[in-house]
Amino acid sequence: MQKPLSCRRQGGIPLARAFAVFLAAFLLLFWGCAPEPKGPALTLAPLPYAMDALAPVMSAQTLELHYGKHHAGYVTKANALIEKSRFKQKSVEEILVATRGKKKHEALFNNTAQAWNHAFFWGCLTPRGDARPTGLLAGAINKEFGGWKGFRAAFIDAATTQFGSGWVWLVSEDTKLRIITSANADTPIAQGLTPLFTIDLWEHAYYLDFHNKRKAYVEGLFDGLANWKAVEERYQHH
Ligand SMILES: [Fe+2]
């Protein structure tokens, strides 16, 4: 005789419970595999030193304005522009490569590049910036510039002859060192170069402390605040 249909099998689990287990497993699998929701593309990371730690070359007042207003402003504007663009799922580096030189993406590029440049710049500085490169980077500097003196002179000359706002960079192209400048927000990360070190040449970086004496600011930063240890590590691992 045929057994009547039942929602409960002898010795099994109720169908409702089986369905709940199946649903939980499905959701777990689905959410586990789904891409994590992306937060803002850029964040304003805390500085690795106190606001007054870089004085007198960079006073607390300059750093508070530079980091707290200028850098923060670039991050906010860049995130707003990225959010409403087709680049939402791209990395910051991909966005910079895709938008550099494109008139219709000018504001997005400028704010994103400035956010990236400033984050990189803070990492180039340390209150204990009196050490010089050693090892591989020292060898490369000797090879390319004939020694520390030649490198320092070339870097400071590039910084002081850059017309208007911009940045001076030590970059690596393959393993070859180069000193370049970039105007306004432009950045070597969008040009296939590896940035190793930079100094911000915008007036907001030095005008409160040095007025129009850009060379004194660059020399003070290069000789007293540059984090050559971090530059060395970047060069060794790029
Ligand atoms: Fe700046």
187 alpha carbon to ligand 1 midpoint, in Å? 13
pLDDT mean across residues, the chain: 88
* Domains detected in the chain: 60-123 (1.10.287.990), 135-237 (3.55.40.20)
Residue 141 CA from chain centroid, whole number: 24
Task: Give the number of other CB atoms < 10 A from CB of residue 89.
Answer: 10
Residues flanking ion ligand 1, Cβ below 5 Å: 200, 202, 205
Q: Determine the pLDDT at residue 38.
A: 59
62 alpha carbon to ligand 1 midpoint, in Å? 10
Top pLDDT among 134 and 167 is at 167
Task: Give the number of other CB atoms < 10 A from CB of residue 99.
Answer: 23
What amino acid occupies position 94? Answer: E
The stretch 95-108 carries a mean pLDDT of 98
Top pLDDT among 111 and 13 is at 111
Q: How far apart are CA 33 and CA 29, in angstroms?
A: 6
The stretch 159-175 carries a mean pLDDT of 96
164 alpha carbon to ligand 1 midpoint, in Å? 13
The stretch 186-203 carries a mean pLDDT of 97
70 alpha carbon to ligand 1 midpoint, in Å? 7
**pLDDT tens track for 69-96:** 999 999 999 999 999 999 999 999 999 9
The answer, yes or no, to whether residue 143 has pLDDT greater than 60, is: yes
Q: Determine the pLDDT at residue 35.
A: 46
103 alpha carbon to ligand 1 midpoint, in Å? 22
38 alpha carbon to ligand 1 midpoint, in Å? 27
Confidence of residue 34 (pLDDT cuts 50, 70, 90): very low
Closest among 68, 73, 118 to 92, alpha carbons compared? 118
37 alpha carbon to ligand 1 midpoint, in Å? 31
Task: Give the number of other CB atoms < 10 A from CB of residue 63.
Answer: 24
Asked if 112 contacts 42 with a C-beta cutoff of 8 angstroms, the reply is: yes
